[in-house]
């Protein structure tokens, strides 16, 4: 068909038809598409994803940031919302820390999540990866441990409640076997133990993530290095210190960054297990932001909390990118 059209207009173009509008010898006008080099053409495939990110991430983020500097009537109030957030005992209550039991404020609670949960989960994941390295059937063991990551964290919160329950919890059962009946209680129901029960209980939910990454990282270390170390008479600790640990450095940076980000935005486990209680003893920043926005309907306060949380996550992200570039 195209050959017939080309031949027809080669002899006599119709009146009013301007050549050079479409393809050569074609009547159809060429669509308005910017000229891109062959290297730039794949960018068209990223346009839908970029539009989705713009609508779902950029626009809400900018709106939240602007709302954080506004009052109830949308007037500009500067940093007043941030001042109110940091002076709120629900966010920061240093008068009770560390001499009294929680609540110490959501910011302190998030810091404790990082200080306790990060070394516990990363260290346990590394230890299990080293132990499972040469055990037959280690893949099955990894799958069982990784089940905690597959579970929705809402279910994980319910499991943690049962884990530390006074009558049905395995933790209290173990304490009775050890003769520590004085410690038997529903741990999530007391201000002294609720926060630590959530932190320790969530270790088994997250430990599958560092386990899988460290196991993959161990396979990338050349076995020749260990053979040369054996010839030189190096012990187990020397091989770990000079071969394994440096070889796992890139993986460790990823595990630490992702774990800290998870701990900063922790919400579902706390919401399901304790709702931040008792008496805000286990409140975290994300949950405080949720309560401010959807219970108190104080959107400027919630936006200020979201901005602080985003800045903390951004600091971790920048540190992770710099470490990844140097690795």
Looking up tokens 């346009």 gives: 47
What's the CA gap between 138 and 276, in Å, rounded? 38
In a domain, 136, yes or no: yes
In a domain, 325, yes or no: no
Which of 268, 265, 284, 286 has the alpha carbon at shortest distance from 276?
A: 284
CB 316 within 8 A of CB 264: yes
What's the CA gap between 44 and 39, in Å, rounded? 11
CB 250 within 8 A of CB 100: no
User: What is the domain count for the chain?
Assistant: 1
6 is written with which tokens? 């080309």
CATH number at residue 133: 1.10.3720.10
Q: Which one-letter DSSP state was computed for residue 14?
A: P
| Cβ-proximal residues to 92 (8 Å cutoff; 6+ apart), any chain | 86, 105, 106, 107, 108
What's the CA gap between 252 and 310, in Å, rounded? 23
**Each residue's pLDDT tens digit in the chain (327 positions)?**
444 444 444 455 555 555 544 455 555 555 556 666 777 777 888 889 999 999 999 999 999 999 999 988 888 998 999 999 999 999 988 888 888 888 899 999 999 999 999 999 999 999 999 998 888 877 888 888 888 888 888 888 899 988 898 888 888 889 888 888 888 889 989 999 999 999 998 998 899 999 999 999 999 999 899 999 999 888 889 999 999 999 998 899 899 999 999 999 899 999 999 998 888 999 999 999 999 999 999 999 999 999 999 999 888 888 877 777 776
Across the strands, what pairs with 76? 70
In a domain, 49, yes or no: no
In a domain, 19, yes or no: no
What's the CA gap between 276 and 36, in Å, rounded? 54
Looking up tokens 């990551």 gives: 149
Q: Which one-letter DSSP state was computed for residue 137?
A: T
In a domain, 309, yes or no: no
In a domain, 118, yes or no: yes
In a domain, 117, yes or no: yes
Question: Following DSSP, what letter does each residue of 202-228 receive, concatenated?
Answer: HHHHHTHHHHHHHHHHHHTS-HHHHHH
Structural domain harbouring 167 = 105-291
In a domain, 278, yes or no: yes
pLDDT at position 140, please?
A: 85
Q: Is 79 helix (H, G, I), strand (E, B) or coil?
A: coil
pLDDT at position 281, please?
A: 92
């Amino acid at each position: 068909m195209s050959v017939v059209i080309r031949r027809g207009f080669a002899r006599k173009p119709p009146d009013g038809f301007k050549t050079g509008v479409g393809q050569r010898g074609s009547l159809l006008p060429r669509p308005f598409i910017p000229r891109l080099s062959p290297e730039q053409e794949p960018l068209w495939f990223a346009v839908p994803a970029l539009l989705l990110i713009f609508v779902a991430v950029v626009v809400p983020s900018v709106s939240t940031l602007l709302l954080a500097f506004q009052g109830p009537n949308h007037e500009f109030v500067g940093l007043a919302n941030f001042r109110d957030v940091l002076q709120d005992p629900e966010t920061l209550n240093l008068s009770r820390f560390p001499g009294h039991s929680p609540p110490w404020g959501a910011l302190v609670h998030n810091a404790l999540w990082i200080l306790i949960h990060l070394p516990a989960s990363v260290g346990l994941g590394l230890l299990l990866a080293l132990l499972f390295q040469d055990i037959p059937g280690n893949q099955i063991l990894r799958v069982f441990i990784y089940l905690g990551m597959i579970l929705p964290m809402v279910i994980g919160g319910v499991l943690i409640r049962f884990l530390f329950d006074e009558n049905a919890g395995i933790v209290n059962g173990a304490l009775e076997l050890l003769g520590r009946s004085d410690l038997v209680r529903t741990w999530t129901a007391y201000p002294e133990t609720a926060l630590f029960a959530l932190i320790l209980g969530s270790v088994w939910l997250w430990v599958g993530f560092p386990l899988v990454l460290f196991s993959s990282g161990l396979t990338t270390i050349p076995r020749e290095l260990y053979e040369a170390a054996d010839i030189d008479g190096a012990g187990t600790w020397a091989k770990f210190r000079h071969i394994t640990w440096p070889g796992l450095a890139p993986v460790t940076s990823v595990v630490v960054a992702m774990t800290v980000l998870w701990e900063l935005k922790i919400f579902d486990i706390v919401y399901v297990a304790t709702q931040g209680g008792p008496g805000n003893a286990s409140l975290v920043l994300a949950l405080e932001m949720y309560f401010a926005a959807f219970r108190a309907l104080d959107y400027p306060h919630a936006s200020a909390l979201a901005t602080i949380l985003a800045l903390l996550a951004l600091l971790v992200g920048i540190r992770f990118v710099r470490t990844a570039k140097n690795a």
